[in-house]
Amino acid sequence: MSTAAHSTTVSGLVARALHGVFAGLAGGVVFGILMAMMDMLPMVAMLVGSQSAVVGALVHLVISAGIGASFAVLFPMAAVGALVGAGAIYGAVWWVLGALIIMPAWLGMPVFMFNNNTWFSLMGHVVFGMVAGTVLFGLRRRGGHA
């Protein structure tokens, strides 16, 4: 691969990832509102040794940006339905990875615990993915990539 072709590929991935960051932040804001309503943000803050809802919201948005970036890189499709559907599935996958495995393990809690908050969290993760997919579609269309 020539240097110019490699540069274009790398810049294309960076552009996709940046679109994903914005899409992830949009999904994260919507999901974060749901989390705030359920008083779940202090638990997110515990990941960094705090119990502040504000810290939890910031941690949540950083995670959302990263997940949005990975979503945009992994899912290059341009159709709105495909992106929204893939977003819903990607959100559910991150519910399993994040809410059921990583977060409880990080905090010394049992993994795969199911209660009412767990199911609300699944809903929030799916909504996150659908919002991220919708915003990503809009960003790609605006950027001429749809």
Token pair, residue 47, equals 């990941």
The SS3 assignment for 28 reads helix
Q: What confidence score (pLDDT) does residue 8 get?
A: 55
Cβ contacts of 104 within 8 Å, gap of 6 or more? 110, 111, 113
32-87 confidence digits (pLDDT tens): 999 999 999 999 999 999 999 999 999 999 999 999 999 999 998 889 999 999 99
Q: What confidence score (pLDDT) does residue 47 get?
A: 97
Residues 128 and 134: their CA atoms lie apart, in Å, by 10
User: Sign of torsion, CA 33 34 39 43?
Assistant: negative
Q: What is the pTM of this model?
A: 0.89
